[in-house]
């Protein structure tokens, strides 16, 4: 039922709160104060993606672990298990159903907008996007990011905070694709070890490294 509710909201192109007329321009400092308030982060997520021209929705749910800078573990549990994990230098993408893992060095191209947001890299965001606070009501703050470059992959990004915690991230791209990521059970500054961001392929996994395949066992 939860994913169906998220899908309905996504198709309606709205977040949890409506937009007021008194938009606050140049809200980078306000967003920065929220994102700078933690060095590590943990949450469960429900992600739904779809487009205007299609009634088919792609859904997934799982757990996110994050430690600044650039360490993360994104584990989708259902409906199709997948793990993305990085220690800041190496990125692993593991598909257990396929018994396949891809390993590559992290590059600047991997620093997508969601990563910039969650890592609190406001300088990079402000160089690419106009950051506006389009509503502040009670414990809710809704930010909107609009690209300066018309050829940008994302045409609009919205980020909802509730009581100082990231609640929802919504992305719209130039092809009409919309993705909504709803975070629950958020925890700021949990303790992690280096092992939380390392990946050891299970025995028998096909490992792809720089377009070459090897076996883990």
Alpha-carbon span 173 to 110, nearest angstrom: 17
**21-47 pLDDT, tens per residue?**
467 888 999 999 999 989 999 999 999
Domains of the chain are 23-199 (2.50.20.10)
pLDDT tens column, 51-65: 866 667 889 999 999
User: Is pLDDT at 145 greater than 50 in this prediction?
Assistant: yes
Rounded to the nearest integer, the mean pLDDT of the chain is 84
Q: Are 40 and 192 in contact (CB under 8 A)?
A: yes
pLDDT band for 201, please (50, 70, 90 cuts): very high
DSSP 171-191: EEETTSEEEEEEEEEEEES--
Q: How far apart are CA 188 and CA 77, in angstroms?
A: 22
Give bridge partners of residue 214 from the DSSP assignment. 207
């Amino acid at each position: 039922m939860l994913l169906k509710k998220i899908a309905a909201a996504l198709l309606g192109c709205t977040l949890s709160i409506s937009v007021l007329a008194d938009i606050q321009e140049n809200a980078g400092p306000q967003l920065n104060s929220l994102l700078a308030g933690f060095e590590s982060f943990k949450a469960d997520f429900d992600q739904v993606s779809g487009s205007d021209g299609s009634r088919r929705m792609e859904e997934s749910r799982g757990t996110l672990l994050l430690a600044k800078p650039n360490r993360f573990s994104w584990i989708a549990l259902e409906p199709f298990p997948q793990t993305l994990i990085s220690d800041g230098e190496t990125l692993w993408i593991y598909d257990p159903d396929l018994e396949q893992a891809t390993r590559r060095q992290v590059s600047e191209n991997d620093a997508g907008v969601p990563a910039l947001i969650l890592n609190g890299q406001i300088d990079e965001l402000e160089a690419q996007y106009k950051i506006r606070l389009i509503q502040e009501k009670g414990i809710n703050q809704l930010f909107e990011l609009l690209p300066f470059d018309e050829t940008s992959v994302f045409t609009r990004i919205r980020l909802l905070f509730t009581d100082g915690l990231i609640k929802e991230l919504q992305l719209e791209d130039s092809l009409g694709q919309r993705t909504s990521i709803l975070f629950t059970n958020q925890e700021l500054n949990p303790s992690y070890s280096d092992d939380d961001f390392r990946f050891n392929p299970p025995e028998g996994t096909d490992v792809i490294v720089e377009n070459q395949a090897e076996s883990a066992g």
